Every structure is written in structure tokens, then in C-alpha cells.
Amino acid sequence: MIPYEVSFPTHVLFGCGELTKIGSEAAKLGHKALLVTGGKAVRAAGILQRAIQYLTESNVTPILYDRIEPNPRTSSVDAGAALAREHACDLVIAIGGGSVMDAAKMIALTAKSQRPAYDYMRGNPDGLFAQLATITDALPIITVPTVAATGSEANEKSVLTHWDTHEKSSMSMPALFPRTALLDPTLTYSVPSRVTAESSADIFSHLFEAYLISAPSTHVQDGITESLIRQVVHFAPIAVAEPRHEEARSTLLWASTLAISPFTLAGRGAGYPLHQLEHPLSGHYDISHGRGLSILALPYFRQIIAHDRPDRLARMGRQCFGVTHPDDQQAAFDTIDAVAAWFARLGITERLADFGIPHAALETLAEDAIRIGGRGSGSIAGSRPISLRDVLAIYEACY
């Protein structure tokens, strides 16, 4: 058993219509808010206009920064932080998906520290990466997720891309915990089916990654994780088919928040190897995160987990996918088939070649995965040290 220390400090308000409370919640934390969002979707859905109205009615002045792209870049964070300083904002509000929330959280930090976002990233040799665990100072943050996917709304993580070096990596520090998260499932009704499908695959990957390579004595966490996987497997196809299905959208939204939380992760003692394999794909080719993960998942199961932890793959299959075979090895392979069928139901069937990635680039991508994801160790931590050869074999298998 691995000892753990747990913190879930974000105050969560969950329910259809909770967006109406954004003004009163913001007024508790500040007077002038940098309102961070993406280019079009949130405005097109009418969410942005409503948020501005509620803030203004509560005497909170919104300063709009609507330049966050999917797979957010350090340059966008730096520009947002400069705007927050210029207007003396005392609060940051994120309305959008994981990309917007991750960027807003780093804006809240760097607006105060006055350092470029890249200073905090793994690849910056003169940076602060080694000190992240002790960094606590940032402007207060409110998150309003409009996609059920990353859990960024209530966790201490941010994933950014430094486009000059194509490094995409995650940072984790206490300063990034949002103070308040407003979770309103109706805000996700406008998410297109394609994005709903890949976001659901992302929630699923957050749930299975540490679960499949978990240390022993995590029975409570296992039970919660399996329950969440069952809900995502059941409700994702429903939300894809019926975007305004309240029960499906509500379930996916809360599942996404809990998927990266101490309730599922405490004491696992394991990292996110599949995420380390995905980051170079979106870092170089701007592939959406959930899509990249789902393309890599099946070869990762076949080449790593089915050999190292058939017991865990079999358990996930029996608990969440109706697998019944009594032999663990066979049940592990049956689970892979069941996950493949679920991806197919969601319409996720692409291969890496479909995204214009040249075959000759696979080696560079694999080297990047090892360099950034391996933190200088020469391999990625997982059920065993995952080598350059393993990564390349997985990329080849889904090309």
C-alpha cells in the first residue's frame, strides 16, 4: 500500500442552470475578472453573452480574452497574463473546454509571477519545473467547463504546448487549483457529436490509465473507478446520438471531474504512460487529445498491458464491459475487443496516417515521448519502463 495525502479544495456547484450563479460567485473573489475563452464555440452557443450579463449585474467587470486555441500554447498564456496585468484584474474566469481552463489557470499564475509560461515547463532547462510542488500563489480562478472531458475544472494541472520546441507537457502545482467550479450540464448540449465522442474517450483514458497499473490495496478507488467507467461506457453513445440528453450530459460531466481526482487516483503510485505517448502527437500535429488517446489505446493494451497486467485488463472487462471468460489472459484480449467495439460505436476508427502524419516522423515523435515523458530517465514509467522501442512499436501499430 502506498501512503497518500489528499486535497480537493475546489468548491463545486453542480446543476442545470448553475451558470446564473457566476456573478454572485465571482463577486466573492474579485471586482475585475479576466474572462478567458476560445474563439467561437462558447459565443455561438450564447454562453459567453449570458456570463457577461450575470457578471455585470453583480458589479464584476469582465475583461474579455477570447484567443485560446485547442491544445493551448504558451504564447497565448503569456498574452493573456499581460492583459490581466494591464487591466489589474483580480480574478480569472475560464469558460470553455480543457484547453481554455488549462490556459486560464496558467494565466492566473503568470499574471502574478510575471514569468513566461514556458519557465514552468519540463523542457526549459533553466525553468522552475523542479519547484512546482511548492508554488502556491496565483490570482483566484473560477472554472466553467463547457465540455465534459479533462477534469481541469477542479484539479491542479495544466497542459500547454510550447510551439517553438513542440513540447506538450503537463504541470501540476497547488496554485492551479480553481477556487470555484460551476458545473452546468446544459452548457455541454452544443458540443458536437464528434467532440463528445473523443471527450468521452478522454474521460475513459483518465479512468483506466492508473487503474490498469495500480499498486495493490486500492479497493475503494477501484470500485469508484469501475462505476465511473460503466457510466461513461453507457452514456457516451447516448450523448453522441442525443446531444440535449440531460441525464447523459450530467453523468459525463461529473464523471469527467471525478476521473482526475483523489477519489479515483489516491494511492495508485502510477503515472499516465498513454498520455505521455499522446502528447507528441498533439504537440507536433495538433491532433485533438481525446482522439489521439483513443487511437493509441488499443495497441497500448495489446503490447504492454495484456502482457504485464492481464489481471487488471481482465478485471476492467468483467466489471465494465460484460466480459465473462474465467481465464485472465483470454479475458484481457476479450476486453480489448470490447473497448474496440465501444470506440467503433462512438465513431472513433481513425489511424495516425489519417491525420497527415508522415511515416518518417514516427521516430521523432517516439524520441519526443521518451525525452519529455521520461523526464530524463530514458523510458516512460508504467507497468514497466516503456522504452523507445515500445513507443515506436505502438505508433507503428496504429499508423
Are 362 and 399 in contact by the 8 Å Cβ rule? The answer is yes
Q: Of 271-330, which residues contact ligand NAD (CB under 6 A)? A: 289-290
- Contact status: 48 vs ligand NAD (CB under 6 A): no
DSSP annotation of 382 reads S
Nearer to ligand NAD, 95 or 314 (CB): 95
Are 93 and 104 in contact by the 8 Å Cβ rule? The answer is yes
Nearer to ligand NAD, 258 or 338 (CB): 258
Q: Of 70-89, which residues contact ligand NAD (CB under 6 A)? A: 70-71
For ligand NAD, which residue has the nearest CB?
97
Residue of 30, 62, 80, 96 interacting with ligand NAD (CB under 6 A): 96
Q: Identify which range of 41-49, 208-216, 225-233, 315-323 contacts ligand NAD by CB under 6 A.
A: 41-49
- Contact status: 151 vs ligand NAD (CB under 6 A): yes
Number of Cβ within 10 Å of residue 351's Cβ equals: 11
Are 69 and 61 in contact by the 8 Å Cβ rule? The answer is no
Are 93 and 30 in contact by the 8 Å Cβ rule? The answer is no
- Contact status: 368 vs ligand NAD (CB under 6 A): no
Helix (H) or strand (E) holding 222: helix 219-241
Amino acid at 287: I
Helix, coil or strand: residue 113: helix
Are 16 and 48 in contact by the 8 Å Cβ rule? The answer is no
Nearer to ligand NAD, 162 or 318 (CB): 162
Q: Identify which range of 189-197, 210-218, 308-316, 352-360 contacts ligand NAD by CB under 6 A.
A: 189-197
Q: Identify which range of 22-30, 85-93, 99-107, 382-390 contacts ligand NAD by CB under 6 A.
A: 99-107
Nearest distance from C-beta of residue 96 to ligand NAD, angstroms: 5
Helix (H) or strand (E) holding 300: helix 289-300
Are 63 and 34 in contact by the 8 Å Cβ rule? The answer is yes
Amino acid at 146: T
Residues that bind ligand NAD (CB under 6 A): 38, 41-42, 45, 70-71, 96-100, 102, 146-147, 149-152, 155, 157-159, 187-188, 190-191, 195, 199, 202, 260, 289-290
